[in-house]
Structure 1
Amino acid sequence: MNVVLWIVQAVLTVMFGLAGVMKSIQPKDKLAPRLPWVEDFSPGTVRLIGIAELAGALGLVLPALTGIAPILTPLAATGLAVVMVLAAFTHARRREPAAIAFNAVLFLLAAFVAWGRFGPYGF
């Protein structure tokens, strides 16, 4: 199970890392064609979401790999799960069911990592 958790952590790290970098460095008008929800938020809020996703992605692997404050790994997974719940609310308001389904999958993966690392497979 530990290997499965590491694989899920790696997948989430790549996904949230790429999304976080994209949202934190690209201007809002360049993001709008691919991410239409950004029109509902200020540029600062979009950048904050990107930074939160990037920090969560780093938190999924770095503390566990370095052995420095490994409790941060399940906390990062919990934070990313919360971000996905909030994203699902945004997409529900915009009536975007496909995006909600994607958020649900990422939520379940992040919740799985949080459960595993807080519980039986902690560091």
Structure 2
Amino acid sequence: MKTIGAAEVLGALGLVLPAAIDVAAGVVPWAAAGLAVTMLGAAAVHGRRKEYPMISVNLVLFILAALVAWGRFGPHAF
């Protein structure tokens, strides 16, 4: 659980900091992809613990992170 939490925090920092300090913009799509994978892992952990309402939150966050990764890796990345 602590590892997933740390990965979530690092993923969030990887999404926000490059834009905030205007450096290493290429990190953002990789951070978003990693955060999407982390959300799938978090959903699996919540499923094993029978915390079913939290799975929907993880799936929404997965979709958002996957959209950011798709948009940043795509042909119209900014």
* TM norm. shorter chain > 0.5: yes
Of all paired residues, the percent bearing the same amino acid is: 58
Q: How far apart in 2 are the matches of 1:120 and 1:101?
A: 30
Distance 1:84 1:113, change over 3 A: same
Q: TM-score, normalised by structure 1?
A: 0.56
Q: How far apart in 2 are the matches of 1:122 and 1:63?
A: 15
Q: State how 1:30-45 maps to structure 2 within 5 Å.
A: none
Aligned to 1:102: 57
Gaps of 5+ in 2: none
Q: List structure 1 runs of 4+ shifted beyond 3 angstroms.
A: 64-67
Q: How many residues align?
A: 78
Two-structure CA RMSD over aligned residues (Å)? 1.7
Letter in 2 for 1:75: W
Aligned to 1:60: 15
Q: CA deviation at 1:100?
A: 0.7
Kept in 1, the 8 Å contact 2:4–2:42? The answer is no
Gaps of 5+ in 1: 1-40
Aligned to 1:87: 42
**Higher Cα radius of gyration:** 1
Letter in 2 for 1:102: V
Q: How far apart in 2 are the matches of 1:74 and 1:64?
A: 12
